[in-house]
Amino acid sequence: MKGFAMLKLGEVGWIEKEKPTAGPMDAIVRPLALSPCTSDVHTVWESAASEKRNIIMGHEAVGEVVEVGSLVKDFKPGDKVIVPAITPDWGAVASQMGYSQHSNGMLGGMKFSTSKDGVFGEFFHVNEADGNMAILPDNVSIEEAVMLTDMVPTGFHGADNAEVSYGETIAVIGIGPVGLMAVAGSNLRGAARIFAVGSRPVCVEAAKKYGATDIVNYKDGDISDQIKEAMKGRGVDKVIIAGGGVETFEQAVKIIRPAGIISNVNYFSSGDCIKIPRVAWGLGMSHIRIIGGLMPGGRKNMEYLSNLLKYKKLDVTPLLTHRYKGFEHIEEALLLMKNKTRDLIKPVVTI
Ligand code: NDP
Ligand code: ZN
């Protein structure tokens, strides 16, 4: 079969691979809708993770089941399914501890294009199909559903880890598709005032739709100064980091109130260390909590998030700025994600 792959660091291209086979609990899926991710860009062009060679890329897919293993109970060939970017091993001790993202090691739930080929192939493999896929609801399109595989759960994970609560003031640093979903997730959880930090006009407009009350452009000066001024010196309750480099961390510590929560979902693709400013951190006694997380995958998560689309509580269509038809366009869509034109939020390729 054909697949679009990372050939080596900084190089991508089409390759031929054997069609994957399903173990007893697994499924083989044919993609119907795909989307490239900023994480793919970090991995290939920023040497962010360990170098992979000739591995099929991609982890955001909605597809049709073509084969299931003998122990799979709830899915059959022909089913249309949402497959999350993170497909944990549900029997692992880390999963039993509530951190399925790290089943079998740090970030071990991230299997696509890490420990096996990703979803940008004519077929792809899903481990533990009953635990890791969800049926596509009738009234949800495949383009919308592909946003449930990574963008919605990652942004919402940022808001969940920040423990956003009603009436709070939140700053979301970075409003690409992930940050926009952190704005939407914070809004759904009841945040009152939401600072959204970004510069692309299309993202700014979407942020307002999702509930941002204040827009901050990081190109207009240090965001901690801008937010502190708007807050008249008070700190925000929570900060969600979903973009920018390691410097955003320092800014987050400077704008948060004592005992606030900094929740990171950004993939820091460069820099050896992340700095914590000593004085803003209360000389080490601020009770500020810091958490960073990989999105949770799994079936339950996909089913519950797809309910939000099914019952019209969340509209992901503002994210879909670029649509392509045909598997061959995956290359173009990925390069668009790399070059980030000003009118881009997220591309989707339907097959
Ligand atoms: P985008 O590149 O589309 O968005 C990044 C955002 O950060 C943009 O709004 C950009 O502004 C803003 N930004 C850039 N530089 C700065 C800066 N110096 N200060 C403040 N804001 C800045 O990324 P995505 O939304 O697609 O992804 C966000 C991150 O999430 C990526 O690192 C990605 O790899 C990661 N990720 C993490 C996952 C997880 O499970 N934790 C899963 C999926 C993705 P501008 O408007 O100028 O472009
Ligand atoms: Zn991703």
Which atom of ligand 1 is the closest one to the Cα of 267? 32
Q: Beta-strand (E) ranges in the chain?
A: 2-8, 11-16, 27-34, 55-56, 61-68, 80-83, 124-126, 134-135, 169-173, 193-197, 214-216, 236-241, 256-264, 289-292, 320-325, 346-350
Is residue 346 within 8 Å of residue 177, measured between CB atoms?
Answer: yes
Model pTM score: 0.97
The closest residue, in CA terms, to atom 5 on ligand 1 is: 243
- CB of residue 299 inside a 6 A radius of ligand 1: no
Asked if 285 and 299 sit in the same domain, the reply is no
Q: What is the mean pLDDT of the chain?
A: 96
Q: What is the pLDDT of residue 48?
A: 63
Question: Which ligand is in closest contact with the Cα of 34?
Answer: 2
Q: What percent of the chain has pLDDT over 70?
A: 99
Asked if 230 and 281 sit in the same domain, the reply is yes
CA of 216 to the centre of ligand 2 (A): 25
Which residue range(s) make up the domain with 210? 155-292
301 residue type, one letter: N
Number of compact structural domains in the chain: 2
Q: What is the pLDDT of residue 162?
A: 98
Is residue 55 within 8 Å of residue 6, measured between CB atoms?
Answer: yes
Please, where are the H alpha helices in the chain? Answer: 38-45, 93-96, 129-132, 142-146, 151-161, 177-188, 201-209, 223-230, 247-255, 299-310, 330-339
Is residue 32 within 8 Å of residue 351, measured between CB atoms?
Answer: yes
Is residue 243 within 8 Å of residue 175, measured between CB atoms?
Answer: yes
At residue 49 the predicted structure's pLDDT band, cuts being 50, 70 and 90, is: low
Asked if 104 and 168 sit in the same domain, the reply is no
**pLDDT at 50 > cutoff 80:** no
Cα–Cα distances (Å) from 2 to 212, 283, 337, in that order, read 42, 55, 21
Q: What is the pLDDT of residue 43?
A: 87
- CB of residue 180 inside a 6 A radius of ligand 1: no
Q: Of 251, 267, 337, 345, which is best to mutate to test ligand 1, by the most ligand atoms within 8 angstroms of its C-beta?
A: 267
- CB of residue 216 inside a 6 A radius of ligand 1: no
- CB of residue 226 inside a 6 A radius of ligand 1: no
The closest residue, in CA terms, to atom 3 on ligand 1 is: 176
Asked if 250 and 307 sit in the same domain, the reply is no
pLDDT tens track for 254-313:
999 999 999 999 998 888 899 999 999 999 999 999 999 999 999 999 999 999 999 999
* CATH (domain of 213): 3.40.50.720
Burial of 278 (0-12, 13-18, 19+ CB in 10 A): exposed
